[in-house]
Amino acid sequence: VHLGESGGGLVPAGGSLTLSCAASGYSVSRVCMAWFRQAPGKGREGVAAIGSDGTTTYADSVKGRFTISKDNAKSTLYMNSLKPEDTGMYFCAAMYREWYGRACPMAADRYNAWGQGTQVTVSS
């Protein structure tokens, strides 16, 4: 299983970015996928997650600004109205285990496969 992120970059506050995570090696249609971020000196924070039925979960700090989507082979994170505090390394993650009926968790230790990360920097 391999996850690869793309789409990070430098953007001014108020701008937008779209991150993509391509999965290879297995289908992600029946598992949770999530995006996490890590700012320098801080722990890894769950940003958004999406389940097999399309149910989404968002961190309070990004609700109304970020949107997560998923298909059989990738997840996309649409980020609007970006703030300097959104700066960090963004990682996508996927579970190996199929997940139904409940919102996907936002805890990093529930996810098995991880991408290498893509840097997002929002200037003030």
Residue reference for tokens 């200037």: 123
Q: Could you list the beta-strand ranges (E) of 25-71.
A: 31-38, 44-50, 56-58, 66-70
> What's the CA gap between 63 and 5, in Å, rounded?
21
**pLDDT greater than 90 at residue 102:** no
Average pLDDT over residues 114-122: 97
What's the rounded mean pLDDT across residues 94-102?
88
pLDDT tens column, 21-43: 999 988 888 899 999 999 989 99
Collapsed DSSP state (helix, strand, coil) of residue 16:
coil
42-62 pLDDT tens trace: 999 999 999 999 999 999 999
